[in-house]
Every structure is written in structure tokens, then in C-alpha cells.
Amino acid sequence: MSSPIADEVARRRTFAIISHPDAGKSTMTEALALHARLINEAGAIHGKAGRKSTVSDWMEMEKARGISVSSTALQFDYTPTGTDQASVINLVDTPGHADFSEDTYRVLTAVDAAVMLIDAAKGLEPQTLKLFQVCRHRGIPVITVINKWDRPGRTPLELLDEISERIGLTPTPLYWPVGIAGDFRGLRDARTGEYVKFTRTAGGAKIAPEEHLDADAALEREGDVWVEAVEETELMAEMGQVHDEESFLAGETSPVIFSSAILNFGVRQLLEALVELAPAPHERAGIDGAEREVSDPFSAVVFKVQAGMDSAHRDRLAFMRIVSGEFERGMVVTHAQTGKPFATKYAMTVVGRERETVDTAFPGDVVGLVNATALAPGDTLYAEKKVQFPPIPSFAPEHFAVVRADSAGKYKQFRKGIEQLGTEGVVQLLRNDIRGDASPVMAAVGPMQFEVVAARMKTEFNVDVQQERLGYTVARRTDAASADELNRQRGVEVFERTDGVLLALFSDKWRLQYIEKELPDLALETLVAAAD
């Protein structure tokens, strides 16, 4: 039976783009926003040296380097061609750099589908493989986009073979390229046989015009290039590699589209594939195993906490993914971790630094709660019927550094800033009695996280910090009974993480192996690895 919430849920698609750095993720994000008329002109410029920041980048470090190191959320309406029903698209942007894979993991807890963006010249790369494994583990269906087809690259069949062989996912083409990599003329619709001919716009700043031709007209226009595209798509069909919705949702197959995000080719096709094929928001299990249905009273999970997004407002935003029910701004909900009430007076959608007030939202939507100092990633909010969703695991850190204020006179600001960044999950913060509160240890998946800490401490708290790298490379969870013995061992130091977990740091894996062999009764538990 139709209901207002059911109707709203059916219109929503919430997804993330996963990729290796430089595969074109930020450019694709902007191209999608352009096609949805969220922006009037794309800001991407050929060549990194002159590249403008995209609409979802907000940190000065991101703009200077042309990379995304934090996650943001874009929401826009999109009406597919030939329909009058607008869909609501929630695109949760992810960090492109491997050093921020923990932040990407958090984002993937908030989406229902993923777009795997692959560079046509490089194929599958390590970061893409890691993130796909996270999608597989979480049961997130994946649409594959082979990007940068406007540049020289590998053959379509070679790229699809690699996907099949390396990750065990059967690629099923939706749109096949007409023209080799570097000579991108258009796409053949594998399901209808129609030819979509693209026309370049100056600098790719505008939506690329499309011309739709039947097979005969395409053959006359493109000749042998069209024949090759037809033969290759028919070969895939003969091998059984055609889209099947059940197999896609089960994580066995992946629909494939070829594109050039920087030229806005193939972008509309991706949007319409998302609307047609990606799942709508659905139920989620609580820690007790009970399913929270989308029609149940309001609930949401916090997946990202971020401060410093707007230098004019020293506030802190907690991004929540709505799981069930209708959200109304101003409603008082319960914070599951503390049992305390939480007021939602200030609720926003955020596009880069631009904010708009949200009055209502539905399952699948992402809402930013302002001044949410009590919330941390993984927290649950609910109304009426109690629920608590499983926590988001922290990754095993591999890089460690002591951080201190450059000036003793700024210790108060230093303490406030470091604690805030730790709560946000920018780094994990570790302390022990020997080093004291003035010299906490930062633990990170990648060293660029330390750069973010230094940059944000300077810009948001006016504190210059000193960082001293530590010679530890491996972390294991331990307990109080084992801590004293571990601290007596050479090349080992035990710390308490902000969440109360005890971590033992080891100089290298050989030191760990030696202690595990000599002292087998000590508690040493493996943490979640970034590659898991």
C-alpha cells in the first residue's frame, strides 16, 4: 500500500563513487551535478596545475592539491529522459586518496549502491580493489564506469576481462564505446542497439549535446568503428554478460558504462542507470539483529563529523544518514549511545561550503546537524521505538606521530583542537601516562592525515603544531592484564585510545611475531585492516 514515506523512499537513490586517486572522481561528481542542473558550468580544467576545485571540495588543502580528502554530500533532483517523475539523488562524496580510506569506509556505511570509477588507461588499481572489497563485504551493489575514454587507453574487452578475473565480478555492458580510447565518438546502447553520438563543448564546461541514431544511420555515419562496437557488444551477449537485476543486486554482476567525465560524455547514462537499477533505501539491522524498516519511526546513523567547513561559522556538523521514518527539523530525538535527548533545530544540506536549511527528510537522505558536539561517527539517533545500529569499526593504524603545540601559551586551544579532530575521526588519538596529555600520539592509516591535522589546527584554532614521527608500524588491541608485560618489552608501547580501547604499538611485524611466540598468553587482537 502506498504511503507518503513509501513514495518518498521509492524516489531516492543514495550512492557513493569509489575510485583510485586521479581516476576522475571529483570531475565525475561535478559532471553529475551539471547534468542535474545543480550548477550551470563545470569548473574542471584540463591539467592538474590549473584545475579548479570542484563543487564538493571545501578544504583549502583540497583546492591547492586538486584532491578530495574529506567527504561531503550532494542532494539533487533528476528527472530521467522521457519521464515526468523526479528522483532524489543523494551522492555522498568520498576521499580519493588512499590515506583516507577509513573515512571512505564510513561513507560506505551510509549508501545503498556504489559507482566504481576506473581509469581507462590504468584499469583496476589497489585503492579501487580495496574499496570494492568493502562494498562486497557490506553487500553494496556496484555500477562500473570506465572513465577517461577521451584519452588513449586499453581496449574495452581487456578492461572487462580484468574486472572479471581480479575481483570475480561479471561485467555486463549497458553502453559500449564507439571509437577506441582517445577517439570517443559516442555510445552504443547494448539493450536497444541505438547509437548516442556526442558533440564536444568548449572545455567540457557544458552538457555535451547528444544525437540519437538507429543502427543503419550509425553504420552510415561511423562505418567500421560502429561495426566493431556492434561485434564486441554481441560477443559479450553471447557469453551471457547481459544485465540481470537480480544478479546485480546480489553483487554477482556489475553494469558497465564508458564515459569521459571531463567532456560530460556518458554522464546522463550513468544517472539514468542509477535511477533505473540502483536499489532504493531499505531496512537495516540493529545490534540486536532486529530489522529497522524504512516505514518505522525515525532513526538515523551518524557516519561523519566535520568542523571547519565554513570559516565564518565555528560550528561542527554531524552528517547522518536517515534509515527510517520522516525527519522534521526541530524534532527531539534520542541519542542511543547516551540515552539523552538531542534537539535538531539546526539541520542542513551542504554542498561544499554552501548550506541550506532542511525542514523534512526521508530514508536515504543525508542531513547535517549543526553544533552536534555530542555526536561521533557510528552513533545512532532515534525517535519512539528504540534502536541502536552497529558501530563503525576503526581501521588498524600504520603511522604514528607525537603532536605538540608549538607554543606552550596555546595549550588550551591545542587541547580543544586535537580533541575535536580526534572525535571527528581525522586521526585516532592515543595517550599514556608516560607521554602525558600535552604530547598525545596521532595514529593514522596514511601520513597525509597528519598534514590535515596540521593544516586545520592552524586555520581553525590558530595553533602551529610540531609533529614527531614514531618508529611503530603495527598496532594490536590488548587488555589491562597484558599491558604491563607489553610495556616491559623492547620496541613496544601501550596506549589508550579515546574510546577506551588499549592499543599495543610494535616497531615492526617481526617484533610482534617474536612476542606472540615468546608470550602466547598475552592478549593481542588484530584490528580491521584498511584492505579488508
What value, to the nearest 5°, has the Cα angle with vertex 370 and ends 319 and 27?
Answer: 45
Q: Residue 418: enclosing H or E segment and its boundaries? A: helix 411-424
Query: What is the SS3 string spanning 243-255?
Result: CCHHHHHCCCEEE
Q: How many CB atoms lie within 10 A of CB 525?
A: 11
Per the CB < 8 A criterion, the answer to whether 152 and 182 are in contact is yes
Q: Which ranges of 386-530 would DSSP assign to H, the alpha helix?
A: 411-424, 448-461, 480-487, 509-518
* Residue ranges with strand state E in 376-459: 380-382, 399-405, 428-431, 441-444
Per the CB < 8 A criterion, the answer to whether 6 and 295 are in contact is yes
Residue 64 CB partners (closer than 8 Å, separation 6+): none
Q: Please check if 95 is assigned to a binding site.
A: yes
Specify the DSSP class assigned to residue 53.
P
Q: Please check if 397 is assigned to a binding site.
A: no
Residue 189 CB partners (closer than 8 Å, separation 6+): 174, 175, 195, 196
What value, to the nearest 5°, has the Cα angle with vertex 522 and ends 520 and 525?
Answer: 100
CA dihedral in degrees (378, 381, 387, 392; nearest 10)?
0
Helix axes 224-238, 215-222, angle to 10 degrees: 130
Q: Please check if 243 is assigned to a binding site.
A: no
100: cell is 583516507
In DSSP terms, which residues pair with 186 in a beta bridge?
A: 178, 197
Nearest CA to 424 out of 59, 142, 3, 65 is that of: 59
Nearest CA to 80 out of 269, 258, 279 is that of: 269
- Report strand pairing: 73-78 vs 12-19: unpaired
Nearest CA to 364 out of 9, 6, 7 is that of: 9
- Reported residue count of the chain is 532
What value, to the nearest 5°, has the Cα angle with vertex 45 and ends 197 and 208?
Answer: 20
Residue owning grid cell 530521467:
80
Residues making up the binding site for GTP: 93-97
Residues making up the binding site: 93-97
